[in-house]
A and B are shown apart, each in its own frame.
Chain A
Amino acid sequence: MENTSRWSRIKSYWNRPNHVAYIFILPSLIALLLFAFIPVVIGLGMSFFNVNIFFNGTKFVGLQNFVRFLSDSRAINSIWHTVYFTVLETPVQVLVGVLCAAALSRNTRFNRFCRSTFYIPVVCSLTAIGLVFNMLLDPNIGWFPHLLTRIGMTAPDFFGNAHWAMPTIAFLTVWKSFGVTMIIMLTAVQAISPSLYESAEMDGASRAQQFFHVTIPQCIPALGFCVLTNLTGSMQVFDQIFVTTGGGPNFKTESTVQYIYNRGFAAPYELGYASTVATVLFIIIAILAVGSNLYMSHKEQQMR
């Protein structure tokens, strides 16, 4: 009898809306703990050790790895390359995504076709796309350079030239991923009340004015989300660089994650130092993420 009443008390406690929510988020929380939080803490700890992939001769070195990072020009350069990629990729991807979302917001057959088409690269493997771009832009056997030569132009070595390589990788990434931004923004655009556009029209606002003064302000929360996810994603760029340039030419496209990989998972397999670089990257991304989140929250507050 007492057991039954205790059971029903537990049931009623967890059935309350503000309590049951914790049960719903528990699986995600466990996954996050196991695959994100614990590895981050372990990585942070390892950055204070000299440890290789075989875990032989592990030695506590304090801040020595961080001091080494400051004098490691390749590591510092990899941070700059990552920032350069982010500056090239994130604004363009968000802009293209927003413009496409605004242009394709009406549910016509043509718009639906365009949305599906633009989303196709998102579901394709980045490795496969990298290989295809590599072949298309190859200076010796590529179709695109061949086409340019046929019309009397000299094709640059897209992945082999230090000036062209990173913009080309950024272009490839935008082409592959803008569909995600487009879909998120499309949902936000379609949720805007038509009465706002009607009032703007009655006030004589042009299409451009409607876009800047109705669409954009109404989409700030979704836009904030897109900027944040793009920013953090771009700062962790790896696959497309690994497949297309491998960090070359002359390490000019080597991103921080690739440098971490090269240090930790290739000879001399320095997991400790690789963890140090990962910790630095983590701090940079955290600052950027918190900064952009605060800015977007501020903008949202202004909207209200």
Chain B
Amino acid sequence: MNKHSWKKLSVLALTGLAALSLAACGSKSASSSSSKTTTITFWNGFTASDGTNLKKIVAEYNKTNKDHVKVKMDQMSWDNFNEKLPTAITAKKAPDFVAMNYGDMAGYVHNGTMKDMSDFYNYKGVDKSNFQQSAINMGKIKGKDYFIPMQVQGNYLYWNKDLFKKAGIDPNTKIQTMDQYMKIAKKIKALGNGVQGTYWSDFAQWSLVYGGSILNKAETKSTINSAANRKVLNQFRQMMYVDKLGNPSTQGVAVDNLMFAGKLGLEVSGPWLNEGMIKNHINYGVTQFPSLTKNGKKQAWLAGVGFGIPTSTDDSKTKAIYSFVKYWNTKKTSKKWSQENKCAPYLKDVAADKQIKNDPVISELAKQTSYSKVMWPGNVHASDITTNVITPMCNKVVTGSDVNTQLKLADQKINKILKGDN
């Protein structure tokens, strides 16, 4: 082939390429102009089997909704979510809406990065009276609704029925009091062979049942250094350091794993534990968090996950987001989510449903939701206090530190955080 032919061939190839590109552009613009579909991006931290269930619900919504909305979902671990979202918001690359843990929400609202969603309850087809008030309260900050419920959860008491049997305890015993709790944990630990009795958990919940508090009513001052909280910490110390009912260094997922391995008698944990128990064929029971005495008033904290909209989201997408959030809060979807993930319902019609009432796990969890209340709603320091004061304090106590010293230290630290000069 001579030089001239090469030139000709190159021109032909370039022309062909240009024509193809133009055709592609044309078809793209044609498709976007003909379609009225609003695509909304959605981030959340559901990655286990709940993530798979969520995917199914989103796919079903995308297929059936008549509002021409398409939800494009990105699922990541909660840790990853909490790392990515702040920087995405700052860089104005945040998703159109998110599902986040209510404890983290206040920080975002305080920094003006979340939209007020109060008008969702006026959206066509949404019945506010069908929501349990405690669930609505989770997302209320300074009288505005920044957070629409997606899931509610508390800390419940799980036990291994097979280990109960081995220890000579009736496997259907629903622990009612602290004394009973400690006695059973000791009996199970005595089984040996690597079996652990129980683990410390959720200081705030224990504090509540012992009649203590962490902050005063106005949430302006620490009240942690109290006799009730001393009792809680002394119990943790007795449990872990003196009686060695569990290994103090084992925490979080590692404790759950022990439960899934059939090596732990009692654990206080959230509804997510159900999935692992079922998957690992553990013969287990679950009940409400024990109260202090036999006839003690039942008290529990309520936590959860909810939908929020970053301020960077264009207002034109609000309707589309509300369409999905409304779909989520219909009886059909909410019931499906409760049944598949063993979560307590927060919609009154779901709670009244026969199948839900007959489910032994969900009905038990639902009982606790009925009297639970939200801890420090909208308090911007909640996460800081829990992560950087309460958990380290408990860790020190269960490894043998003096309870009084730790309470005093925690008191000082919390007051410093509340003053904003931590």
Q: Which residues of A contact B (CB under 8 A)?
A: 52-56, 68, 138-141, 157, 159-162, 248-251, 265-269
B381: A residues at CB distance < 8 A: 268
Contact assessment for A54 and B399 in the assembled complex, using a CB-CB cutoff below 8 Å? no
Contact assessment for A160 and B107 in the assembled complex, using a CB-CB cutoff below 8 Å? no
Contact assessment for B113 and A54 in the assembled complex, using a CB-CB cutoff below 8 Å? yes
Contact assessment for B247 and A140 in the assembled complex, using a CB-CB cutoff below 8 Å? yes
A218 to B114, CA, bound (A): 63
Residue of A nearest to B110 (CB): A56
Contact assessment for B111 and A54 in the assembled complex, using a CB-CB cutoff below 8 Å? yes
Contact assessment for A265 and B83 in the assembled complex, using a CB-CB cutoff below 8 Å? yes
Sorted nearest first, the 9 A-B pairs with minimum C-beta distance are: A160-B249, A267-B383, A54-B111, A53-B86, A56-B111, A268-B384, A157-B249, A250-B395, A249-B249
A52: B residues at CB distance < 8 A: 111
Residue of A nearest to B85 (CB): A53
Q: Which of B54-62, B156-164, B254-262 has 4 or more CB atoms under 8 Å from chain A?
A: B254-262
A159 to B249, CA, bound (A): 8
A161 to B248, CA, bound (A): 9
Contact assessment for B82 and A266 in the assembled complex, using a CB-CB cutoff below 8 Å? yes
A203 to B27, CA, bound (A): 86
A119 to B246, CA, bound (A): 39
Contact assessment for B107 and A267 in the assembled complex, using a CB-CB cutoff below 8 Å? yes
Distance in Å: Cβ of A129 to nearest Cβ of chain B: 18
Q: Is B263 an interface residue (CB 8 A)?
A: yes
Contact assessment for A160 and B384 in the assembled complex, using a CB-CB cutoff below 8 Å? no
Contact assessment for A249 and B399 in the assembled complex, using a CB-CB cutoff below 8 Å? yes
Contact assessment for A139 and B90 in the assembled complex, using a CB-CB cutoff below 8 Å? no
A159: B residues at CB distance < 8 A: 249
B235-256 interface bits toward A, Cβ cutoff 8 Å, 1 = contact, 0 = none = 0000000000001111100100
A140: B residues at CB distance < 8 A: 194, 196, 247, 250, 254, 257-258, 261, 263
| A interface majority secondary structure | loop
Q: Which residues of B contact A (CB under 8 A)?
A: 82-83, 86-87, 89-90, 104, 107, 111-113, 194, 196, 247-251, 254, 257-258, 261, 263, 380-381, 383-384, 387, 392, 395-396, 399, 421-422
Distance in Å: Cβ of B80 to nearest Cβ of chain A: 11
Q: Which of A138, A141, A250 contacts B399 (CB 8 A)?
A: A250
A162 to B399, CA, bound (A): 10
Distance in Å: Cβ of B78 to nearest Cβ of chain A: 12
A53 to B104, CA, bound (A): 14
Contact assessment for B113 and A141 in the assembled complex, using a CB-CB cutoff below 8 Å? no
Distance in Å: Cβ of A58 to nearest Cβ of chain B: 12
Residue of A nearest to B87 (CB): A53
B87: A residues at CB distance < 8 A: 53
**Contacts A249-B399, A266-B387, A269-B107 known; A160 to B247 CB distance under 8 Å?**
yes
A268: B residues at CB distance < 8 A: 107, 380-381, 383-384, 422
Distance in Å: Cβ of B391 to nearest Cβ of chain A: 10
Q: A139-B249, A140-B258, A161-B249 are in contact. List 10 more A-B contacts (CB 8 A).
A: A52-B111, A54-B89, A157-B249, A160-B247, A250-B399, A266-B387, A267-B107, A267-B387, A268-B381, A268-B422
A160 to B240, CA, bound (A): 14
29 CB-based A-B contacts, threshold 8 Å: A53-B86, A54-B90, A54-B113, A68-B421, A139-B247, A139-B250, A140-B194, A140-B196, A140-B247, A140-B254, A140-B263, A157-B247, A157-B249, A160-B249, A160-B250, A161-B249, A249-B248, A249-B399, A250-B392, A250-B395, A250-B399, A265-B86, A267-B107, A267-B387, A268-B107, A268-B380, A268-B383, A268-B422, A269-B107
Contact assessment for A53 and B249 in the assembled complex, using a CB-CB cutoff below 8 Å? no
Q: Which of B258, B384, B395, B396 contacts A267 (CB 8 A)?
A: B384
A249: B residues at CB distance < 8 A: 248-249, 395, 399
Residue of A nearest to B249 (CB): A160
B248: A residues at CB distance < 8 A: 160, 249
A161 to B261, CA, bound (A): 23
Distance in Å: Cβ of A167 to nearest Cβ of chain B: 15
Residue of A nearest to B251 (CB): A248
Residue of A nearest to B246 (CB): A140
Distance in Å: Cβ of A285 to nearest Cβ of chain B: 25
B384: A residues at CB distance < 8 A: 267-268
Contact assessment for B254 and A267 in the assembled complex, using a CB-CB cutoff below 8 Å? no
A112 to B247, CA, bound (A): 44
Contact assessment for B86 and A269 in the assembled complex, using a CB-CB cutoff below 8 Å? yes
A269 to B86, CA, bound (A): 9
Residue of B nearest to A248 (CB): B395
Contact assessment for B263 and A248 in the assembled complex, using a CB-CB cutoff below 8 Å? no
A56 to B110, CA, bound (A): 10
For A250, A265, A268, the residue with the greatest tally of chain B CB atoms inside 10 Å of its CB is: A268
B258: A residues at CB distance < 8 A: 140
Distance in Å: Cβ of B201 to nearest Cβ of chain A: 16
Distance in Å: Cβ of A185 to nearest Cβ of chain B: 37
Distance in Å: Cβ of A270 to nearest Cβ of chain B: 9
A269 to B421, CA, bound (A): 14
Residue of B nearest to A72 (CB): B422
A140 to B250, CA, bound (A): 9
B261: A residues at CB distance < 8 A: 140-141
Distance in Å: Cβ of A193 to nearest Cβ of chain B: 53
Q: Which of B90, B112, B254, B392 contacts A251 (CB 8 A)?
A: B392
B196: A residues at CB distance < 8 A: 140
Residue of B nearest to A134 (CB): B254
Contact assessment for A56 and B112 in the assembled complex, using a CB-CB cutoff below 8 Å? yes
A175 to B221, CA, bound (A): 49
A202 to B292, CA, bound (A): 85
Contact assessment for B86 and A54 in the assembled complex, using a CB-CB cutoff below 8 Å? yes
Distance in Å: Cβ of A146 to nearest Cβ of chain B: 9
For A55, A157, A266, the residue with the greatest tally of chain B CB atoms inside 10 Å of its CB is: A266
A265: B residues at CB distance < 8 A: 83, 86
A56 to B109, CA, bound (A): 12
A53 to B261, CA, bound (A): 40
A249 to B194, CA, bound (A): 21
A267: B residues at CB distance < 8 A: 82, 104, 107, 383-384, 387
